[in-house]
Amino acid sequence: MEINREMLLQSFREETEECLQQMEQLLLTLETRPEDRELVSSLFRAAHTIKGNASLLEFNALARFLHNVEDLLDLCRSNIVALSQEVISILLQAVDVLRQMAKRTVDGEESLLPEHEAMSARLAEMTAEFKSSQTTGTQESPASSLQDTSTSAVVAKGAVQNLRVDVGKLDRMLNLTVEFAIAQGRQRRILEEKLGLMASGREVLESHHGLEALFLELQELVMKIRMVPVGPTFHRFARSVRDAARKSGKLARMLVVGEDVEVDTTILEHIHDPLMHMIRNSVDHGLETPEVRRALGKDPSGKIVLQAFHDSGNIVVQISDDGAGLDHERILTHARAKGIVPEGARLSEAEIHNLIFQPGFRRRTECLNCPAAAWVWT
């Protein structure tokens, strides 16, 4: 049987991205639950799946890199290496490199870039250092026993619950149902005009009405196929929260509420960048440093809540944080200086908050523990 390599590459690309997202989420969870052995085992299995698939497609450079990742994870899984912040940071960087390498490999660029080589060497050196510091005998890596069970993952899987469908095909299906509904309505009017007064005509109309009910159910189902839960997309922002907080010398964690709320897949694409911008603003300008938070009696680690919920037929996405909040006096002073608010005008709290969205409102992006300083509108 001839194997369609393009289909294999597409399957490899999709499954690799899923595994990398899983690895990223597991590593972020392990920061707060480093003792959870099941999480470490799941992390190892995800890396091993990618390695098996890469070996099957003869992506040797990618497989070698993953072998180094596996070696380090195996030490963590065996309790030889503790999952410290340093180890988790290295593994997160390895996930970033794997994402780049996988894309380049599928595009035909299998050779490693210098930074990829450097990361591979760093992983190998860390593993060697940890091993040399142990006085116990070496153990056979469980990876060898898994080799035969995962390398066929690209070609075939067991009974699956989900099916990947091209969004373009879903759009076409939806357009066809709309066109069918129009044609069906036109046919109903013709039947009513021509056969409405005949006994046999009434039977035809009743049959037609039954078909319409079935079609409406089909149309509703097609529309629901495009709906996806917001959870997987929202959880991806957790990595951005972690990295942005560390860059600013802060601690932060993200909480997702309403992850089962479903929206059209295209909506998630459009709101990704605005959400990312607002989350970074919360980290950079909303949350205080750990020292300031301790002095205020707060948890040193700030909390950002990303929530989705239904409200009067709409889906609302809300971002909040437990930082210092908006500095009303600075907002008003800046707005008056810009001529947006006349001198002496009295504004409610909500009206003051809305000033940061006004055209012409601009603040320097210096960190003042004030989200208003992050908004730049022209």
pLDDT of 65-87, one tens digit each?
A: 999 999 999 998 888 888 888 89
pLDDT digits (tens, 9 = 90+) for 331-347: 888 888 888 888 888 88
Residue 277 has a pLDDT of: 87
Separation of alpha carbons 278 and 280, rounded Å = 5
Q: Which residues contact 290 (CB under 8 A, 6 or more apart)?
A: 250, 251, 300, 301
Q: What is the per-residue pLDDT for 43? A: 92
Query: What residues does 257 pair with on adjacent strands?
Result: 307
Task: State the pLDDT confidence band at 270, using cuts at 50, 70 and 90.
Answer: confident
Mean pLDDT, range 110-132, rounded to an integer: 89
pLDDT at 162: 55
**CA 368 to CA 365: how far, in whole Å?**
9
Top-confidence range, 86-90, 149-153, 193-197: 86-90
Q: Is the pLDDT of residue 213 over 70?
A: yes
Categorize the per-residue pLDDT at 366 as very low, low, confident or very high, splitting at 50, 70 and 90.
very low
371 CB burial (10 A radius; 0-12, 13-18, 19+): buried
321, HSE (Cβ side, Cα atoms, 13 Å): 28
Kindly calculate the radius of gyration of the chain based on its CA atoms and give it in whole angstroms. 28
Residue 118's pLDDT is what?
92
Instruction: Please give the structure tokens belonging to residue 160.
Output: 């699956």
Among candidate residues 149, 1, 124, the one with its CA nearest the CA of residue 71:
124
Which DSSP state fits 350?
Answer: H
pLDDT at 166: 65
Lowest-confidence region among 184-193, 225-234, 262-271: 184-193
Residue 111, pLDDT above cutoff 70: yes
Q: pTM here?
A: 0.61
User: Cα torsion at 3, 7, 13, 16 (round to 10°)?
Assistant: -50
The arithmetic mean of pLDDT across residues 275-281, rounded, is 88
pLDDT recorded at residue 375: 38
Give exposure, 279-305, as e/b (b: 16+ Cβ within 10 Å): bbbbbbbbbbbbeebeeeebeeebbbe
Predicted confidence (pLDDT) per residue in 29-57, tens digit:
888 888 888 999 999 999 999 999 898 88
